[in-house]
Amino acid sequence: MESAGLFDLDPVAAPVRPDLAGSDPAVSSADAPLAVRMRPRDIDELVGQDHLRAAGAPLRRLVEGDAPLSVILWGPPGSGKTTIAHLVAAATNRRFVALSALSSGVKEVREVIATARAARRRGGDPTVLFIDEVHRFTKTQQDSLLAAVEDRTVTLLAATTENPYFSVVSPLLSRCVLLTLQQLGSDSVRQLVRRAVTDERGLAGRVRLAPDAEDHLVRLSGGDARKALTALEAAAGSALATHAGPAPDGADGPADGADGAGADGDGADGAGTGRDRAEPDRAEPDGAGGVEPVEIDLATAEAAVDTAAVRYDRDGDGHYDISSALIKSLRGSDVDAALHWFARMIVAGEDPRFIARRLIIFASEDVGMADPQALPVAVAAAEALDRVGLPEAKLNLGQAVVHLATAPKSNSVTAAVGAAIADVQAGRTGLVPRALRDAHYSGARGLGHGTGYRYPHDDPRGVVTQQYPPDEAAGRDYYTPSRHGAERAVADRLPKIRQIVRGTASPPGGGSLSEVRAPDAKAAGADSPNPDANPDTGGAGR
């Protein structure tokens, strides 16, 4: 059984010892990527993830071999998942097998389990099975692990960048300890970069990183240690070549598979680098043989990496978390935050039609009658996107974001629709009142349909007393307008309308028409059709 290229391991049948190449970063080849050479040699060298490295913590117990705990490592790229796998592989008295969900299936998993079971019966070393990108396994493939994990035939170590509550089947998740790795902070990435500059496994002091260049690498890494070290390696190679100095081993640029933008298992996570030791904040040692280190300036660093790492997965948590942040920022009327999240989605390549749909929904859900123009604006932005396309249509979508964020807010329509649907689902339904039934066809009058219908336009107020809901819903108030924005006028007008409709108001002439009807309403009685000719104001669509 091969290790899918993740580790240089012996076949499954042979136990892997810590002195084998591939399991101990100290013996990584000189031409290996910088991020691989700088992998930590024990758990105490890890940088970041302090919440998982405490004495007695599941991660430390797994690495040190104190307990056969099956673990799922969940974290963003460059946070340390593959690094932790290497530390586990280096532990003594355990057989370590690595698979990638990208290239393995049920057949390979069953072979590993069978070999582990046979070794267990012979009293051999326990087996640790590492599966990278486990979220790419199908449900059937994940189910094939259940029995072996349950009886500890294998100790499972699975890594994923996707939310395991969605990407890992529940039975497997319940049999494992879930460890969440956090994105590395700027201080942690800075520490890794500085150590890589001075450490003998890294650049060995042959270069010196200018402060602004260091800030650039840290900022644009986006908390991804692998990306930071890969960019550092490229910048070092460029600086050394420019100054015609002797390039350090492996510093000619990123080797194949070391691109920090790749899958988490394709290169080193670099979550920890260099053995902890006393060192100055910015060490500037002389290079090999007393040669003055070559400086990596800002221009060189910018040439190595000029675009920040935007963490966004259109099918995973990035998609849902950032779109949720956009909607909540709009709802909270923070226009600047809304624009930030909108920009994150655009830069990351989110489908702009998804953004447009969310804005249209928001216009009715959270703005509603407080600003009736919000919905036309959102719809217009979606239409502009359809006609213009990106990149120009980002301006139309951005205008809609600004309009919705700064508009007065009301969820009264949302609450009203929800209340009405709840009544219907609860069985509060009934027959259509006889006066409202369709009477356009022959014989309808004989059934009494339309009898007694009162045509509202014949009343000077434009509103008449008449029962519109079924008996079971009569008198139910679903819509309660807010007093925000344009809805304030509706809130003032609605009680008068309800009084008239329900027969609790004064007779015609007792109130002003303007108090009931909207200011731009047409005068009652003008060009009104004969109610006897068409008693149903919508029946023509039948």
Highest mean pLDDT, choosing among 81-95, 396-410, 431-445: 396-410
Residues 112 and 128 sit within 8 Å (Cβ to Cβ):
no
- State pLDDT tens for residues 177-188: 898 888 888 888
- The arithmetic mean of pLDDT across residues 378-389, rounded, is 92
Q: Is the pLDDT of residue 281 over 70?
A: no
Residue 167 has pLDDT above 50, yes or no: yes
Q: What is the DSSP string of 354-418?
A: HHHHHHHHHIIIIIGGG-TTHHHHHHHHHHHHHHH-TTTHHHHHHHHHHHHHHS----HHHHHHH
* Residue 385 pLDDT class (50, 70, 90 cuts): very high
pLDDT for res 23: 41
Average the pLDDT over each of 137-151, 418-432, 523-537 and give the range with the smallest value. Answer: 523-537
Beta bridge pairs of residue 128 = 96, 155
- Average pLDDT of the residues in 426-442: 84
- The pair of three-digit structure tokens given for residue 37, joined into one six-digit string: 């050479």
Q: What is the mean pLDDT of the segment spanning 279-286? A: 43
Confidence of residue 172 (pLDDT cuts 50, 70, 90): very high
Identify the pLDDT of residue 405.
96
CA 250 – CA 36 distance, rounded (Å): 11
Closest CA to 262 of 130, 133, 86: 133
Cβ 256 vs Cβ 235: under 8 Å: no
Which domains does the chain show, CATH number per domain? 49-183 (3.40.50.300), 184-243+293-316 (1.10.8.60), 318-409 (1.20.272.10), 433-502 (1.10.3710)
- Give the three-class secondary structure for 261: coil
Q: Using DSSP, how many helices (H) and how many strands (E) does the chain show?
A: 20, 7
Best CA proximity match to 288, nearest among 206, 409, 226, 352: 206
- Residue 399 pLDDT: 96
Query: For residue 378, what pLDDT band results from cuts at 50, 70 and 90?
Result: very high
**390-397: Cβ within 8 A, 24+ apart:** 390/346, 390/352, 393/352, 394/346, 394/352, 397/342, 397/346, 397/352, 397/355, 397/356, 397/359
What was the pLDDT predicted at 337? 95
Would you say residue 36 has pLDDT above 60? Answer: yes
Tens digit of each residue's pLDDT (9 = 90 or more) over 223-261 = 888 888 988 988 888 888 887 544 445 444 444 433 433
Q: What is residue 4's three-state secondary structure?
A: coil
pLDDT band at 77 (very low <50, low <70, confident <90, very high): confident
Query: Given pLDDT bands bounded at 50, 70 and 90, which one contains residue 364?
Result: very high
pLDDT of res. 28: 56
- Rounded Cα distance between 515 and 381, Å, is 35
Beta carbons within 10 angstroms of residue 426's beta carbon: 9
Q: Which range among 371-375, 378-382, 510-514 shows the weakest confidence by mean pLDDT?
A: 510-514
pLDDT for residue 290: 60
8 A C-beta contact, residue 367 and residue 407? yes
Question: Mean pLDDT across the stretch 313-324?
Answer: 73
For residue 516, give every residue at least 6 positions away whose Cβ sits within 8 Å of its Cβ, in sequence order, or none: 461, 462, 463, 493, 496, 497, 500
pLDDT of residue 27 exceeding 70: no
Q: Retrieve residue 168's tokens.
A: 């890992």
- Compute the mean pLDDT over every residue in the chain, rounded to the nearest whole number: 78
Whole-number pLDDT of residue 505: 56
Q: What is the DSSP letter of 526?
A: T
pLDDT tens figures, 473-530 = 888 899 999 999 999 999 999 999 999 898 885 544 444 445 544 444 333 333 434 4
In this prediction, residue 92 carries a pLDDT of 61
Using left for φ > 0, alpha for ψ between -120 and 50, and beta otherwise, residue 270 falls in: left
Of the ranges 371-385, 422-436, 463-477, the best mean pLDDT one: 371-385
Percent share of the chain, pLDDT over 90: 25
Specify the higher pLDDT residue, 427 or 268: 427
* Residue 44 pLDDT grade (very low, low, confident, very high; cuts 50, 70, 90): confident
pLDDT confidence band for 308 (50 / 70 / 90): low
Residues 443-460 have a mean pLDDT of: 84
Non-local CB neighbours of 17 within 8 Å, separated by 6+ positions = 23, 92
What integer is the mean pLDDT of 82-108? 83
